[in-house]
Structure 1
Amino acid sequence: MSDLHNPLSGRVALVTGAAGGLGFAVARGLAAAGATVVLHGRDPARLAAAAATLAADGCRTDSLVADLADEAATAAAVARLVAAHGRVDILVNNAGARDRRPLAELDRAAVRRLLEVNLVAPLDLARLVAPHMPAGGRIINITSIAGPIARAGDAAYTASKGGLAALTRALAAELGPAGITVNAVAPGYFASEANRAMVDDPAVAAHLARRTALGRWGAPAEIEGAVTFLASLAAAYVTGQVIAVDGGYLAHF
């Protein structure tokens, strides 16, 4: 029976792209629920700062440095993680790249770079981690509302996130017999550092006031609940689903 106050106690969670932004918020939520959280990133200094912040709150953390675009480095990182912790109970595929450009400016190399990080790396991590994930394991992909809807100048990113939503369903079907659930969370407009220029633009705030049911940006902490729920026992019979955390953007017109 799980601890009501620490429903993820004893679980080991890997969160990619966890040095800041939504990834850090997700890691903080899982750690607050009792999990030992392995923070992944490419910058050792930023990872150390993130880990120190969580440790100051009494959270149990570890760090994993790797470039997910590098297949060998990714495999080596997972091997180090398993050697250190013995297993992975929760995988959150949060790391992602963005390349906002008109279609005419996107060459094949740019599209491949984006797909490598946003789609191929999550598939590869699931493949590498699943053998070390016991029954009751959880894989949670961070997609985007830019999967089911689109705007001009963002074709490669939209394709990658739409593909990640489809991959979520495929992995749910594949890993279900092993007792592993696979779901996704699709964030809307969040006021993270990655979106700083947009957050500072009054026109974007005015757009969200009209376009979302709640009329505002999301705060990074507001992503935590959905991911923690999907990682918990409460979501034991939920798999293959995408939960939009978007202030009602997809449902409102």
Structure 2
Amino acid sequence: MKHNHPVAVVTGGAGALGAAIGRRFAENGDTIVLLDIDSEGLDSTVAAITADTGRPVIGRVVDIADPTAVAAAVGAIDDEFGRLDRLVNNAAVNHRAALSDIEDELWDRSMAVNLRGPMALCRAALPIWTRTGVGHVVNIGSRTWQSGGPSAYVASKAGVVGLTRSLALELGRLGITCNAVAPSMVVTPFTRGERTDTEFDRFVERHTSLSPLGRLATADDVVDAVEFLASAKARFVTGEVLHVCGGAQLAAAP
């Protein structure tokens, strides 16, 4: 390996959850590579994590839906570091259109980012993992794969569960683990979307009521689960879906 520190790659790294995951890995001493399509958000996130942790953080503008761009990004990581210890597939889009309104283009975009993207990243990383035999993959799913919801988003997140299990079998032969974290709602700009203040307040209230613990998930709740599954403490855990929902995974859609 060309690099002495673990290398962690987080997609959707400019978003609230991706940035929180990247920050935790940086605090633990990893070298961080954040991938996102949002160049301005990426620049500000990289600057903030670097300033706060003193760890090297690299931001690369990549459309996760573009397999060629994904392969180039992973190739650059291999050239520079020669390793990829943790891969967190967090990037996602959520088109909330009803079945009667969903357009083919939006459906295809959801599948390309949410489902094909994680596959493409793992496929591109195969040469690294074959050589090093070291790696943890964590795919960010959603409790909605059980409860239902917007069809494109839920179908893609259900697909992430199947992909996780398949990758666990195939990558396990190389010594690589693959698991999924399925959170309930976390208050972020992503979950707020285009909702008005009133609509979002009602949305938060409905989701809060689903948990027997009486609250929503926080970013730290999700990050703690990701950190565990991407660590040596989970070295014999693979193919699992860890719900970070406070019991909300037991409820139907609100």
Normalized against structure 1, the TM-score is what? 0.90
**Native 8 Å contact 2:6 2:85 kept in 1:** yes
Q: Shift of the alpha carbon at 1:219?
A: 2.1
Q: Shift of the alpha carbon at 1:226?
A: 0.5
Once the two structures are aligned, what percentage of the paired residues are identical?
A: 39
Q: Please say which of residues 140-149 and 192-201 is displaced more in the overlay.
A: 192-201
Partner of 1:237: 236
Q: 1:123 to 1:104 in 2, by over 3 A?
A: same
**Native 8 Å contact 2:183 2:244 kept in 1:** yes
SS at match of 1:178: coil
**Native 8 Å contact 2:140 2:181 kept in 1:** yes
Deviations 1:122-180 (A, max 9, x none): 101101012212223101100111112213xx111111000011000000000101100
**Native 8 Å contact 1:144 1:185 kept in 2:** yes
Amino acid at match of 2:134: G
**Native 8 Å contact 2:184 2:244 kept in 1:** yes
Partner of 2:94: 98
**Native 8 Å contact 1:191 1:199 kept in 2:** no
The answer to whether 1:53 aligns with 2:48 is yes
How many angstroms apart in 1 are the aligned matches of 2:212 and 2:60? 38
Residues 24-63 of structure 1: pairs in structure 2 closer than 5 A = 24-57=19-52, 58-63=54-59
The answer to whether 1:15 aligns with 2:10 is yes
Amino acid at match of 2:58: D
Amino acid at match of 2:40: A
Gaps of at least 5 residues in structure 1 are: 1-8
Partner of 1:214: 213
Partner of 2:65: 69
SS at match of 1:105: coil
Q: Shift of the alpha carbon at 1:252?
A: 5.3
Amino acid at match of 1:231: A
Q: Shift of the alpha carbon at 1:236?
A: 0.3
| Structure 1 residue runs of 4 or more that deviate by more than 6 Å after TM superposition | none
**Native 8 Å contact 1:205 1:216 kept in 2:** no
Q: Please say which of residues 38-47 and 207-216 is displaced more in the overlay.
A: 207-216
The alignment of Structure 1 onto Structure 2 pairs a total of residues equal to 243
Gaps of at least 5 residues in structure 2 are: none
How many angstroms apart in 1 are the aligned matches of 2:124 and 2:208? 42
**Native 8 Å contact 1:208 1:215 kept in 2:** no
**Native 8 Å contact 1:147 1:158 kept in 2:** yes
Q: Shift of the alpha carbon at 1:218?
A: 2.1
Deviations 1:11-67 (A, max 9, x none): 101100011211111111111222111011112221111111111122331112111
How many angstroms apart in 2 are the aligned matches of 1:148 and 1:234? 27
Partner of 2:172: 176
Q: Shift of the alpha carbon at 1:235?
A: 0.2
Q: 1:209 to 1:65 in 2, by over 3 A?
A: closer
Amino acid at match of 1:115: M
How many angstroms apart in 2 are the aligned matches of 1:92 and 1:44? 19
Normalized against structure 2, the TM-score is what? 0.90
